[in-house]
Structure 1
Amino acid sequence: MQQSEVAEAVRRAAAGDRGAWDALVESFSGMMWSVATGHRLGPADAAEVVQTTWLRLLENLDRIREPERVGGWLATTARREALRLLAHRARELPAHDEVRLDREQAGTPTPEDVFLGGERDRLVSEAFARLPDRCRQLLQLVVVVSPPYAEVAAALDMPIGSIGPTRARCLERLRRLLATTDPAVDVRGAGGR
């Protein structure tokens, strides 16, 4: 679907048009499954993420400010739902396992590791927020969500051949922003394809 068609489908779906809703589901379900399985979720958990993401869209359909960008909204929401599910699963300890909570065996980071990691994350987050909207959207999809380029091209309405070079320019811009705040932060490994 083109951006104008997506925007129209969102508006019609918000007005109760079942056909428009079905068109959105057909257009974006593959991308959402890709996001969910990209987080190494099994089929049942991936299905839960996709279903919850559609529910979130349904709940917010009349509040979408940029309906032509609903693909990015869905990708971000699916990523957040996958991460939420993974965090929930990580807190579950099977009762039948003999789990040792020994710090060294569990690989628990030291307080220093936690602080330094948090500081690095804060610096990257601040630099990321200073990027232009287009770069933020592209990097969030390509680096964080990592669906196939065809889905990124459709979600951002850009030629598939320009995704890689644009991603490289955006990452370089992020590196320059980080270098002005803390030269020790390195993002060279981010977003490799």
Structure 2
Amino acid sequence: MDRTDAGALVQAAADGDAAAWKALVEGLSPLVWSVVRAHRLSDADAHEVYQTAWFRFAQHLGRIREPGKAGAWLASTTRHECLKVIRSAQRLTLTDDPRLLDRASEDGTPEQSLLDSEEAAAQSERVRRLWQEFEELGERCRQLLRVLMATPPPSYHDVSAALGIAVGSIGPLRQRCLRRLRARLEARGAM
């Protein structure tokens, strides 16, 4: 296809002439295929590049500055698409080594990452509800449970001195407070 014919067909195709588009594809397809074959792509990649080159050509059809050089534009675009495919294939390393294929990813699978993040969100919500219900307990229960949660745990004598509670009452009071907290959580469906 000479430049004059190509230029006229590009103008007509840009104006919506389907016959001109068909003539361009028929006339320039051998050029596109020759560029693709020169890059020795697999059949699947070759067909993908062929389609992509024509797609890009159709996208830019009305903006091609020199319609007579449509063949050069198409060859250049095809070459760029071939190089993209080759570069992306170089990032992959094909292997049949079972030690590499069976190796678990340090990051885990995407599915496991999703499950882990959902579990972390659910755990965070449980903790938030627990503290919300804890704050609704009476002042005496909150004080006692806070003191008993200290690290290292204080002796009952220290708790008795700090809160003014008889040593023998600390255990039963602790149990009542925890039962109330559990009942509140169960009533809200948090357990």
**Which of the pair has more CA radius of gyration?**
2
Higher relative contact order (CA 8 A, sep 6+): 1
